[in-house]
Amino acid sequence: MSAKILEIKNERLNEKYYKIDHESGLSIYAFPKEGYKSSFAVYGADFGSINTHFISDGQEIISPDGIAHYLEHKLFESEDGDAFVKYAATGANANAYTSFEKTCYLFSCSTNLEENLRILLGFVNQPYFTEETVAKEQGIIGQEIRMYDDSPDWRVMFNMLGGMYHNHPVRVDIAGTVESIAEITPEKLYECYNSFYTPENMALCVAGNVDVDMLVRLADELVKKGGAKSVRKIFPDEPKTVAKKYVEQIFPVSAPMFYLGFKSDGSVRLDERKAAACEVMLFALASNSSALYEELMNKGLINESFAYEHLEGPAYNGVSFCGESKDPKAVAEIIKRYISDMRENGLDADEFEIAKRATYAEYAAALNSVAAIGNALISCAFTGRELFKTIDEIASLKIEDANEMLRFLLDPENCTLSVIKGGEQ
Amino acid sequence: MENFSRRELDSGIFLNSVKDERFKTGRISANISTPLRENTAAENALLIQLLGRSCKAYPDYISLNREMNRLYGASLSTQCAKLGDLQQLSLSMTGLDDRYTLNGEKLSKELAGLLCKMLFEPKREGEAFSSYDTEQERRKLLETMQAEINEKRSYAITRCVGIMCENDSFGIRKYGSPEQLKSVTPKQLYSAWQRLLSTSVVNIMVAGELDADAVGELFKSEFNKIERAPENIETKMFKRDDKVKEETERQNVAQSKLVMGFSCGINVNDDRVDAAKLMAIILGGTPSSKLFVNVREKQSLCYYCASSYNRQKGIILVDSGVENQNIEKAKNEILNQIEQMKLGNITDFEISAAKLAVEDSSGMVTDSISAIESFYISQIFENEILSPQEAAKRISAVTKEQIIEAASCVELAAVYVLTNGEAEK
């Protein structure tokens, strides 16, 4: 087979990587790090917990919640044994995860890269689901779900998502529920596998001590061109406003915890410049040197656990702030006041400059780590953004871009406060 | 690849530099070495936290965070560790490399300047540290100590070392005791600070492409103002008593802990040190090791069973988590595995798996700037300073006969058991 290879360079950071369009349809990203001994590889499908409704070759399919995560667990088993056992012999450190929008299988190593890639491509490309093996997993994943149900950190976040969204599946736990996974069968797993685990819908990203020719040779050997299915993901209509403004749960916790989520328009995916504007704006607004943080700290309303995050994926977009607080409602009021003020007057110019530098440096520093590069590349592969372009956009960002993003993402009237506090259940 | 150099700036003040152009960031650290003593351990541990919290120029978290974010999101951390008979206190700064700043700023000097301010111009109240800050950091350190007591695996190791080394300074806990910590005064911290600046051995470490000479000049001019009388910081080899020390502690634990301490009479000043390192890895350093395969997998006597070698002291520790009724059996089987090594019952597979693990981890060390820094900091106290690759190569060259010889030096010194005492014979 053959492949089209594109070199992508960044002069400022003196780095380059290769995007390889393999004939099978698979996108391969190779980021060689000169002088590095170790490597990180991640092989993923553009298929996450929110993709339970889709049309595959003209047929409409609705799968049980939690099926992407279930599939991830089951793929590690092949007819000839467990993938972890194979990795143990080569010394690689392997793992996998399922997020809202993708499923990824990864490892890191500093010897035996090619052998480890054979293991990785081997087990992901060879599903093996039987009634017996699928049933066996119900108990294990059921335990995992109960563990999440018992985790206040996890609950407080999903309670917020449940309050923000009326219909979008981002409101459902990634692992599903004990009831929903009981409906999973080998047929349903194959249905998802055959629709989404196709070369066109997957990416392989390798960073570190890696050679492009070796990757192409391996893909030639191990990735077969499938009869490409046409798959269309379907999302329910989602109102613009949040479903609930306030959600509360009682839990045995020593200090109350909160998540405050702002809902924005999820119909368009942000491009590189907008993604850059978002990162810098949030830093300027809420970093550990911002005026907002200072006021919250000085009033004793937050501690060092305070954090913020951009929540973005197919058909959803928003921002969350979280932490521990003796008075979450007061925290929410102060955050909303800062947002209203900045929507009107814009960000402080000094804070913006500081935020731009710090955000840029964070992206640059991530290029030290092969794992950080691999994970960034696979995110880019599925969002359609280009890694270096995002960094360049940060470096050249104007305060107007950040202010525009603030007004787009943060509406003080359209948010959900989720609180978990102690007491009797 | 990295390139190490070292020179003395002043009496007992050394500038160490690991030049490595591969990274986007650089690290500067001041590593203060002082003999670990019962009466000063707690105050030293608290002092380093205070030095990392604020300084005269940036007296609170907000002003310090703002300065660090202005310096491209630089980060600061402190550490208190035990290295042989030394208490090692470190203050480290990580920041963007000069080559990658947006407007050509030279951050090296500013980062080093800030680190000097933290170390030499702390926030003071006359001849004492700030009492508010002291209380805050004391609370945090007490929490850290409590967390270590709650973590039963590490607690059991600390207890075994304490019993084994009751007449050796290596038995002293790195943070001292909670009782001592509670009695430390802000005034006492001030004298500890003065004492350390004048009597400790200080290794400045610069890693990455930062301008090491400029950093050295700054520190040199600060130390010039101080009358120096550095203490001897040699570590003595551990010597076991004639009788094996044994102790059983009762606590409400679900899983018992068995920790065994051994002397091996081989330390960094001995040519056999590489053989001793490899011997300890074959014994219990990997999933292919004797303890893991035989004691855990084949006989199912414990949940984990691992060994570690302290090359400064010539000590080997074997720690395991066991069911109460298996404590005696596990102990005998661990001793049997060591006996087998003395008899030469070591397979080629065991040796090659251990060597592969060494090679693999040296590759990982080499690709992380913070791992490289810590690697060289531990090398400084050895007769010969090697790179991670050279160190791995030496271990690869060790023969089976040398492993057997190193094993023959291993003698039991202490046995510590933590159990709830149920199901005992």
- pLDDT tens string A158-184: 999 999 999 999 999 999 999 999 999
Residue B36 φ/ψ, nearest 5 degrees: -75, 115
Check if A200 is active-site: no
User: ipTM of this model?
Assistant: 0.90
Mean local confidence (pLDDT), B99-118: 94
Query: What pLDDT score was predicted for residue B425?
Result: 41
Whether B233 is covered by a domain: the verdict is: no
* A247 min Cα distance to partner chain B (Å): 32
B65/A288 Cβ within 8 A: yes
Q: What is the dihedral of CA A369, A370, A375, A379, to 10 degrees?
A: 100
Mean local confidence (pLDDT), B43-55: 97
Whether B237 is covered by a domain: the verdict is: no
* B1 min Cα distance to partner chain A (Å): 6
Q: Which residues of B touch A359 (CB under 8 A)?
A: 73
Whether B240 is covered by a domain: the verdict is: no
* A65 min Cα distance to partner chain B (Å): 35
Residues B50 and B177 in one domain: yes
Q: How many domains does chain B have?
A: 2
Q: Residue B197 belongs to what domain range? A: 3-223
Using a pLDDT cut of 90, give the percent of chain B over it. Answer: 86
Residues 6+ apart with CB under 8 A from B162: B171, B173
For the domain that residue B137 is a member of, what is the CATH number?
Answer: 3.30.830.10
When mean pLDDT is compared across A213-222, A364-373, B351-360, B393-402, the lowest value belongs to: B351-360
Q: Which amino acid is located at B143 in the chain?
A: E
* A-chain residue closest to B389, CA distance: A37
Q: In this complex, is the C-beta atom of A288 within 8 Å of any C-beta atom belonging to chain B?
A: yes
Q: In this complex, is the C-beta atom of B229 within 8 Å of any C-beta atom belonging to chain A?
A: no
Q: In this complex, is the C-beta atom of A34 within 8 Å of any C-beta atom belonging to chain B?
A: yes
| Closest Cβ–Cβ partner in A12, A36, A294 for B62 | A294
User: From the CA atom positions of chain A, what is the Rg in Å?
Assistant: 22
Per-residue pLDDT at A254 exceeds 90:
no
Q: Which residues pair with A27 in a beta bridge?
A: A21, A203
By C-alpha distance, which of A195, A51, A71 is closest to A133? Answer: A71
Q: What is this structure's pTM? A: 0.90
Residues 6+ apart with CB under 8 A from B157: B259, B317, B319
Mean local confidence (pLDDT), B341-359: 93
Asked if domains A3-233 and A246-421 share a fold, the reply is yes
Confidence of residue A338 (pLDDT cuts 50, 70, 90): very high
Q: How far apart are CA B157 and CA A192, in angstroms?
A: 48
Partner A, chain B 49-78, Cβ-Cβ below 8 Å? 61-62, 65-66, 68-70, 72-73
Encoded tokens for B325: 């009724």
Per-residue pLDDT at B312 exceeds 80:
yes
Partner A, chain B 34-53, Cβ-Cβ below 8 Å? none
* B-chain residue closest to A293, CA distance: B62
CB A310 within 8 A of CB A277: no
Q: Which amino acid is located at B421 in the chain?
A: G
* B243 min Cα distance to partner chain A (Å): 40
A185 by DSSP, 3-state: which?
A: coil
Whether B311 is covered by a domain: the verdict is: yes
Mean local confidence (pLDDT), A92-113: 94
Per-residue pLDDT at A104 exceeds 80:
yes
CB pairs under 8 A between A and B: 93
Query: What pLDDT score was predicted for residue A78?
Result: 81
Compute the C-alpha angle A49/A31/B71, nearest 5°: 90
Q: How far apart are CA A5 and CA A42, in angstroms?
A: 19
Residues B317 and B193 in one domain: no
Mean local confidence (pLDDT), A211-223: 95
A9 by DSSP, 3-state: which?
A: strand
User: From the CA atom positions of chain B, what is the Rg in Å?
Assistant: 23
Confidence of residue A226 (pLDDT cuts 50, 70, 90): confident
Mean residue pLDDT of chain A comes to: 94
Per-residue pLDDT at A239 exceeds 80:
yes
Whether B236 is covered by a domain: the verdict is: no
| Closest Cβ–Cβ partner in A357, A367, A369 for B102 | A357
Q: How far apart are CA B335 and CA B20, in angstroms?
A: 44
Q: How far apart are CA B236 and CA B234, in angstroms?
A: 6
* B352 min Cα distance to partner chain A (Å): 12
Residues B216 and B256 in one domain: no
DSSP state of B292: I
A418 by DSSP, 3-state: which?
A: strand
| Closest Cβ–Cβ partner in B66, B73, B368 for A361 | B73
Mean local confidence (pLDDT), A247-276: 94
By C-alpha distance, which of A277, A290, A406 is closest to A341? Answer: A406
B363/A288 Cβ within 8 A: no
Q: In this complex, is the C-beta atom of A109 within 8 Å of any C-beta atom belonging to chain B?
A: yes
Query: What pLDDT score was predicted for residue B124?
Result: 94
* B-chain residue closest to A113, CA distance: B360
B73 membership: H or E segment, kind and range? none
Residues B254 and B371 in one domain: yes
By C-alpha distance, which of B394, B162, B389 is closest to B274? Answer: B394
Which architecture characterizes domain A246-421 according to CATH?
A: 2-Layer Sandwich (3.30)
Using a pLDDT cut of 70, give the percent of chain A over it. Answer: 99
Query: What pLDDT score was predicted for residue B1?
Result: 55
Using a pLDDT cut of 90, give the percent of chain A over it. Answer: 85
Domain ranges of chain A: 3-233, 246-421
Q: Which residues of B touch A35 (CB under 8 A)?
A: 1, 22
Topology of domain A3-233, CATH: Cytochrome Bc1 Complex; Chain A, domain 1 (3.30.830)
pLDDT digits (tens, 9 = 90+) for B257-295: 999 999 999 999 999 999 999 999 999 998 889 999 898
Residues B34 and B151 in one domain: yes
Pairing of strands B256-263, B86-96: unpaired
Residues B55 and B131 in one domain: yes
| Closest Cβ–Cβ partner in B96, B102, B357 for A395 | B102
Whether B239 is covered by a domain: the verdict is: no
pLDDT digits (tens, 9 = 90+) for A2-12: 789 999 999 99
| Closest Cβ–Cβ partner in B69, B362, B366 for A354 | B69
Catalytic annotation, pick one of A15, A72, A238, A279: A72
Mean local confidence (pLDDT), A266-293: 96
Whether B235 is covered by a domain: the verdict is: no
